Amino acid sequence: MNGQSVTAEEEFSTLPITTNDDVVRARQLVRALAQQAKLSLVDQTKLITAASELARNTLVHGGGGVMRSGLVERGGRRGVTARFEDSGPGIPDLDLALTDGWTSGNGMGLGLSGARRLTDDFTLASKPGAGTTVSITKWVR
């Protein structure tokens, strides 16, 4: 209920990502959380941009999926987590996918590697044929 309270993982709100509009929605949702968590303007922008990259990857490369997001806390620090899940083709070579400039399509190939640099915590899990999950967190400084 209370917008200020921390959300337990299983209560993260779920946003389907199946259209371009959903990518915009994902960005707006993460923006609202970043503001609630009182991230600095620079950190807000970094987190929103990372979320935008990952939401688009979920749509374009993963064939659609969901974003689960919420406020988190660790060691007295507040943060925002967004997790992107799809059950698409998966990523065969994680190191390659995380290489600056590498793309399997016509992108800039900076989305995954960039999102890792833009956030504090970044975890990428993927199984070819079974899908991809990327989770990012930005902590209040």
Considering the rule CB under 5 A, would residue 111 count as an interface residue with Mg ion?
yes
CA distance 47 to 37: 12
Considering the rule CB under 5 A, would residue 57 count as an interface residue with Mg ion?
yes
First-residue to last-residue Cα distance in the chain: 25
Considering the rule CB under 8 A, would residue 20 count as an interface residue with other proteins?
yes
Question: What's the length of the chain?
Answer: 141
Taking CB under 6 A as the binding criterion, the range among 2-10, 14-22, 37-45, 107-115 that sits at the site for ligand ADP is 107-115
Residue 32 CB, nearest approach to ligand ADP (Å): 24
DSSP state, residue 37:
T
CA distance 48 to 51: 5
In contact, 138 and 80? CB cutoff 8 Å: yes
Q: Quick check: helix, strand or coil at residue 141?
A: coil
Which residues in the 24-43 window bind ligand ADP by CB under 6 A?
A: none
Nearest residue (beta carbon) to ligand ADP: 107
Taking CB under 5 A as the binding criterion, the range among 1-9, 13-21, 37-45, 101-109 that sits at the site for Mg ion is 101-109
Closest alpha carbon to 77 in 10, 141, 123: 141
Taking CB under 6 A as the binding criterion, the range among 5-13, 19-27, 42-50, 100-108 that sits at the site for ligand ADP is 100-108
Which pair of tokens denotes residue 83?
């997790």
Interacting residues toward ligand ADP by CB under 6 A: 53, 57-58, 61-62, 86, 88-91, 97, 102-105, 107-113, 132
Interacting residues toward Mg ion by CB under 5 A: 57, 107, 111
